Amino acid sequence: MSPLDPMPLPGQGVAAAPTVTFADVEAAAARIAGAVLRTPLLVSDAVSRATGCRVHLKLDNLQATGAFKERGAANRIALLGEAERRAGVITMSAGNHAQAVARHASLAGIRAVICMPRFTPATKVVRTESWGAQVVLHGETLAEAAAHAHALAREQGMTFIHPYDDPAVIAGQGTVALEMLADATEPLDALLFPVGGGGLLAGCATAAATLRPGLPVFGVEVEGYPAMAQRLAGLPVNVGGPTIAEGIAVRDVGELPLAQLRLLRTEVLVVPERAIEQAIALLAEGGKVVAEGAGAAGVAALLAFPDRFAGKRVGTVICGGNIDARALSNVLLRQLLRDGRILRLHFDIPDRPGMLADIAARISDLGGNVIEVQHQQLFGAPTVQSTELHLMVEVRDGAQGTAIITALEAAGYVVRRR
């Protein structure tokens, strides 16, 4: 199957033969050189200490659009014939693939149409349009937007660029592993790649199978969307629910990546939602790296399966950094609470002057910093003679927090943690 052959739709199935070869990945690397950033591979001391292994991070969040998707889009667009270039390209996406196709179509001087569901956040629409693409909002789901994109492609003779079910896209994504294995300063013992539709993992597993035969390559999915793991195990797909890893929240995996991963016997690990949040926070605070939920999935696997990777040299890709600022702040605050570096304290205290000042002074004497106060005298307290007090206190660590609570209890206060 050549990169320009029409793609089967999801569910049609493919022949049990490699759809992408190592030669395809090498050719893609040469084709996209200069159009896509060769991102650095760095050892993160903070992430290594937190996970118990030596972690090499491939920073594809530094791409112009903030994600690895540029690799596959650039390769696919570079393979277009003259007639296809004149007709333009079309795709469906509510995320990073949209911006990738828009950017590389613009660089090639080609018309690009991106179909997105109506609910797509305005920021994603604006970013995609800023690369020169025409955005068409259609349908309530990505599947409905995809159906509309296919219909427009047939009507207008445009080339449909699938986010992951396309050999040229898969080959382009495989350049991530090509660069990782070439740039590593020491032999790696394992590679981990986030899995949505499967294009990144399939391309990278293909590259690794030739460059380092026998090197363990793992995919990583979030527990609410383990579609690839379920398909590989022959199980019915059962996914759904909210997740911060929306970039890999996929129900219908690619048939081409699925066939490739079956041939390569690639294992997919499933991590809990909490591990994704922990990984985002660890990367931001410790590694000084901004990662979206999907981009942090590889690090989440190291946190979720410490025994499996203990002491090993592991490479993973931060495949995207397009996380909403509010979501990032929420993740960081939730992690501070889990780590015990923020205390949420509740008191029922007598309604007497100076009580709040006394509590605040005792906290301050032990180095705590009160950052939020809710003082309810009228309606929240159990009696008219008492006051309900809620405090949020910043501390260095759990030990300091425990010392503060102990001191308050010794002074006669009944303290409840929320």
Are 297 and 249 within 8 A, CB to CB?
A: no
Q: Which amino acid is at 80?
A: L
pLDDT digits (tens, 9 = 90+) for 153-208: 999 999 999 999 999 999 999 999 999 999 999 999 999 999 999 999 999 999 99
What is the pLDDT, as a whole number, of residue 19? 83
Q: In terms of Cα–Cα distance, which of 24, 31, 114 is closest to 71?
A: 31
What is the pLDDT, as a whole number, of residue 17? 60
187 & 244 share domain: yes
| pLDDT band at 1; cut points 50, 70, 90 | very low
407 & 383 share domain: yes
pLDDT digits (tens, 9 = 90+) for 328-353: 999 999 999 999 999 999 998 888 88
Boundary-marking domain end, from 333, 350, 381: 333
198 & 53 share domain: yes
Boundary-marking domain end, from 293, 311, 333: 333
Least confident of 116-120, 132-136, 210-214: 116-120
What is the pLDDT, as a whole number, of residue 3? 33
State how far the Cα of 246 lies from the Cα of 226, in Å rounded to an integer: 12
223 & 285 share domain: yes
pLDDT beyond 60 at 11 = no
* 29 falls within a domain: yes
Domains contained in the chain, number: 3
What is the pLDDT, as a whole number, of residue 13? 40
| Residue ranges of E strands in 282-361 | 313-317, 342-350
pLDDT beyond 80 at 4 = no
Are 358 and 315 within 8 A, CB to CB?
A: no
Cα distances from 40 to residues 176, 190, 298, in angstroms, run 11, 18, 16
- Structural domain containing residue 363: 342-417
pLDDT digits (tens, 9 = 90+) for 77-109: 999 999 999 999 999 987 899 999 999 999 999
* 4 falls within a domain: no
What is the pLDDT, as a whole number, of residue 107? 96
Q: Which amino acid is at 188?
A: L
State how far the Cα of 126 lies from the Cα of 123, in Å rounded to an integer: 5
pTM given for the model: 0.89
Rg (CA), the chain: 25
* 140 falls within a domain: yes
What's the CATH number where 368 sits? 3.30.70.260
219 & 155 share domain: no
- As a whole number, the mean pLDDT across the chain is 92
47 & 111 share domain: no
Give residue 238's Cα distance to chain centre.
20
What's the CATH number where 155 sits? 3.40.50.1100
Q: 351: left (phi > 0), else alpha (psi -120 to 50), else beta? A: beta
| pLDDT band at 36; cut points 50, 70, 90 | very high
180 & 324 share domain: yes
pLDDT beyond 90 at 115 = yes
What is the pLDDT, as a whole number, of residue 352? 85
Boundary-marking domain end, from 162, 197, 224: 162
pLDDT beyond 50 at 138 = yes
412 & 292 share domain: no
326 & 218 share domain: yes
114 & 158 share domain: yes
| Residue ranges of E strands in 351-405 | 369-376, 386-394
* 314 falls within a domain: yes
Calculate ∠ Cα 237-243-246, nearest 5°: 80
State how far the Cα of 103 lies from the Cα of 247, in Å rounded to an integer: 19
